[in-house]
Copies of this chain bind each other. A is one copy, B any other.
Amino acid sequence: MIRIEKKVLDKVARAEGVPASVIVRGVANGTVVIPANNRRTLMKPCAIGRGMSTKVNANIGLSKGRSGINAELKKLDVAVKTGADTVMDLSTGPFVSKVRKRILSKCLVPLGTVPVYELACMPGKDFMSMREDDFIDIIKAQAEEGVDFFTIHSGISLEEVDFIKETNPRILNIVSRGGALIAAWMAANKRENPFLTRFDEVVDIARRHNICLSLGDSLRPGAINDAGDRLQIQELVRLGEQQQRALSRGAQVMIEGPGHVRLDQIEANVRMQKTVCHEAPFYVLGPLVTDAAPGYDHITGAIGGAIAAWRGADFLCYVTPAEHLRLPDVEDVRQGVMASRIAAHAADIVKGIPSALKRDNDISRARAKRDWKQQYELALDPDLASRMSRDHVLKSGDVCSMCGDFCSIKTSEGLLKMRKPRKIRKGRI
């Protein structure tokens, strides 16, 4: 039985505008998760899953000593201010533990990590010589620090590793950083994935701290050519089994998904995940609908994310313009969060989240009245909207400088003034 603290539950129920009982039921049957480590007090917890608004995650973190702790704290701040519902610290390098502790102390939203990264960065130790126990111990340590959700690459097994070694089946075999590390460890040690063989121990740690397990897709496609192939499906089937096992032992679980997926395969991906994984919350990275737009992957990801969320994905991991090119900077973080929020919002309109549709209708009504102040307030990014237009509107009276006096709204408003409304005539086509 998964227990959620009452004050956390009340907060998320209020934020969603649904009764707490609905959320409790969703958590119990595994369709909703609330990542909130009971070791820390979370200012802004959130519920992820069926019936909830679509959530957005922002990844931050040092890359082997590049960037710096202050730069990452700045990214954390910008991500949360821009509206990220959760943050993942994906730091690698010698300072990974120090960075995480600082981020945890400042992070108002649920914080996720990929514990295997810390294992790969142990000073003076070779990852390939790590013992199985080390994989469990690192999870235990991070759990006690207060991390709210863990990406655990428990789905990849020796079978897939051998298959890749033997057949080199993809353009890009493994694009998951954690997944590639575990695959390399398995191959070097000729041993099965410790997260798979000792999955129950992982689950028990998660349950004790009310950590949500995010079962990672080591074999997600990193090229649209590779999407939906045997490797991806085979891992997904295993994740579906593990999801049931974790849920039955009282831990919260969500499932991670691709990746790079063509427009016409996204819906199938989401439906397949939901079926195979028993309607567990689906956490997608993008998906990116083309491989060919480096520098704009916040846009390729927003296209895929909107479709995925519309079709049932619950949680969008942002992608920044820096994806495939370099470590994102603060501005990349802002752009990435906004693009994912737009995708999530567009999907929430069709998912039937009442506040989403209301927001659109309200901003359009403000547009009809040329009430600029209200338009800015209702915009997903009020600051940018106001900064881009304020001067232009002020110079133009009540219209913006795009159409100026030829503002269609103003022109057609004139129509309504032309005569008094009379009885509605029956329309013909």
Contact residues of A with B, CB < 8 Å? Answer: 63-64, 66, 92-93, 117, 120, 159, 161-168, 171-177, 179-181, 183-184, 187-188, 222-225, 230, 233-234, 237, 260, 262-264, 289-296, 298-300, 302-303, 306-307, 310, 321-328, 338-339, 342-343, 345-347, 349-350, 359-361, 363-365, 367-368, 375, 378-381, 384-385, 388-389, 392-393, 400-409, 411-412, 414-416, 418-419, 421-425, 427-429
Q: Which residues from chain B contact A174 at a C-beta distance below 8 Å? A: 408-409, 411-412, 415
Known contacts A177-B403, A289-B306: A360-B224 contact under CB 8 Å: yes
Can you list 9 A-B contacts with CB-CB less than 8 angstroms, sorted by A residue number? A177-B403, A263-B347, A263-B350, A294-B388, A323-B402, A325-B388, A325-B389, A326-B389, A326-B393
Q: Once the chains are docked, how many angstroms separate the CA of A339 from the CA of B289?
A: 13
Q: Once the chains are docked, how many angstroms separate the CA of A63 from the CA of B4?
A: 57
Known contacts A66-B404, A342-B296, A360-B225: A392-B327 contact under CB 8 Å: yes
Q: Check B175 against A381 for contact (C-beta < 8 Å).
A: no
Interface of chain A: mostly helix, strand, loop or mixed: helix
Q: Check B401 against A187 for contact (C-beta < 8 Å).
A: no
Interface centre among A289, A378, A400 (most CB of B within 10 A): A289
Q: Once the chains are docked, how many angstroms separate the CA of A427 from the CA of B222?
A: 21
Q: Check A181 against B290 for contact (C-beta < 8 Å).
A: no
Q: Check A292 against B378 for contact (C-beta < 8 Å).
A: yes
Query: Which chain B residue lies CB-closest to A418?
Result: B187
5 extra interface residue pairs, beta carbon distance < 8 Å, beyond A63-B402, A325-B388 = A175-B409, A177-B403, A293-B345, A295-B385, A322-B388
Query: Which chain B residue lies CB-closest to A425?
Result: B166
Q: Check B415 against A342 for contact (C-beta < 8 Å).
A: no
Q: Once the chains are docked, how many angstroms separate the CA of A338 from the CA of B298?
A: 12
Q: Once the chains are docked, how many angstroms separate the CA of A363 from the CA of B187?
A: 28
Q: Check B402 against A325 for contact (C-beta < 8 Å).
A: yes
Q: Once the chains are docked, how many angstroms separate the CA of A322 from the CA of B360?
A: 18
Q: Once the chains are docked, how many angstroms separate the CA of A158 from the CA of B122?
A: 76
Q: Once the chains are docked, how many angstroms separate the CA of A237 from the CA of B342?
A: 33
Q: Once the chains are docked, how many angstroms separate the CA of A378 from the CA of B264?
A: 23
Known contacts A174-B411, A233-B429, A415-B161: A367-B180 contact under CB 8 Å: no
Query: Which chain B residue lies CB-closest to A339?
Result: B299
Q: Which residues from chain B contact A292 at a C-beta distance below 8 Å? A: 345, 359-360, 363, 378-380
Q: Once the chains are docked, how many angstroms separate the CA of A347 from the CA of B266?
A: 13
Q: Check B171 against A368 for contact (C-beta < 8 Å).
A: yes
Q: Which residues from chain B contact A302 at a C-beta distance below 8 Å? A: 299, 302-303
Q: Which residues from chain B contact A171 at a C-beta distance below 8 Å? A: 361, 364-365, 367-368
Contact of A412 among B173, B338, B375 (CB under 8 A): B173
Q: Check B223 against A379 for contact (C-beta < 8 Å).
A: no
Q: Check A388 against B180 for contact (C-beta < 8 Å).
A: no
Contact of A338 among B290, B296, B388 (CB under 8 A): B296
Known contacts A175-B408, A223-B360, A388-B321: A310-B165 contact under CB 8 Å: no
Q: Once the chains are docked, how many angstroms separate the CA of A345 from the CA of B165?
A: 33
Q: Check B263 against A349 for contact (C-beta < 8 Å).
A: yes
Q: Which residues from chain B contact A406 at a C-beta distance below 8 Å? A: 63-64, 92, 117, 120, 177, 181
Q: How far is the CB of A336 from chain B (nearest CB, A)?
A: 11
Q: Which residues from chain B contact A389 at a C-beta distance below 8 Å? A: 294, 324-326
Q: How far is the CB of A300 from chain B (nearest CB, A)?
A: 6
Q: Once the chains are docked, how many angstroms separate the CA of A263 from the CA of B310?
A: 8
Q: Check A405 against B64 for contact (C-beta < 8 Å).
A: yes
Q: Which residues from chain B contact A345 at a C-beta distance below 8 Å? A: 290, 292-293
Q: How far is the CB of A345 from chain B (nearest CB, A)?
A: 6
Contact of A230 among B66, B173, B365, B427 (CB under 8 A): B427
Q: Check B223 against A361 for contact (C-beta < 8 Å).
A: yes
Q: Once the chains are docked, how many angstroms separate the CA of A260 from the CA of B368?
A: 14
Q: Once the chains are docked, how many angstroms separate the CA of A163 from the CA of B429?
A: 12
